[in-house]
Structure 1
Amino acid sequence: MRCPHPRRSAPDGLAIARSQRWDPAEVVWVLLEEGMRGRNEATRRNHHQLPSGKTFDSSREEDSSIPAPTLHALVTLEWVSHAENLPCAGPSGTGRSQLAEAPAIKAIDEG
């Protein structure tokens, strides 16, 4: 079984479990939680590898043809939680990549 995250924390965790006389189920639970935490962290890191790394922080509102209130609404990511789509269309240099990558990066960072 490949479990790098719990395996890494097991020596310290088992020492604590022995000294505090944890129930075996509690030990298993802690190791499983460590595995899930480590896997989620690794997934976030791996998915953060978008082509140009464009974020909301790197965008310049004054250069955008999109109205400021619309941009602010996009930053909240409320539309993501409602499973709504974000269609991006326009000529070259209008910020389509920015609008595609920035919400993706923020959504990944927020889990």
Structure 2
Amino acid sequence: MSTSFDKREEGFEKKFALDEEQKFKAEARRNKLLGLWVAEKLGITGDAANAYAKEVIAADFEQPGDDDVFQKVMGDLTAKGIALTEQQVRAQMNLFLAEAIAQVKAGT
């Protein structure tokens, strides 16, 4: 027999799962936006820019947190001699995350 507490707990679990899904989508979207931004800095355009953005998204699966993504883009920028500071890249990551969260919440 299911109690109202069980139903409420199930409701919280469903809400949490949705929040985790939205978080995942927002982080993936942030990584795509970051990848396109870095591609532009690297002089990559068109299909190659989209392919680079996919590489940035894939980098996020290497280790927990954002450091894998950050290390990839910083390494690529440094290799091309593009001088951006850690603070500049992290600030851009934060801006893109805020934009991505808004897009995911809006369903766009």
Q: TM-score if structure 1 supplies the norm length?
A: 0.33
Structure with higher helix content = 2
Asked which structure has the greater CA Rg, the reply is 1
For normalisation by structure 2, the TM-score amounts to 0.34
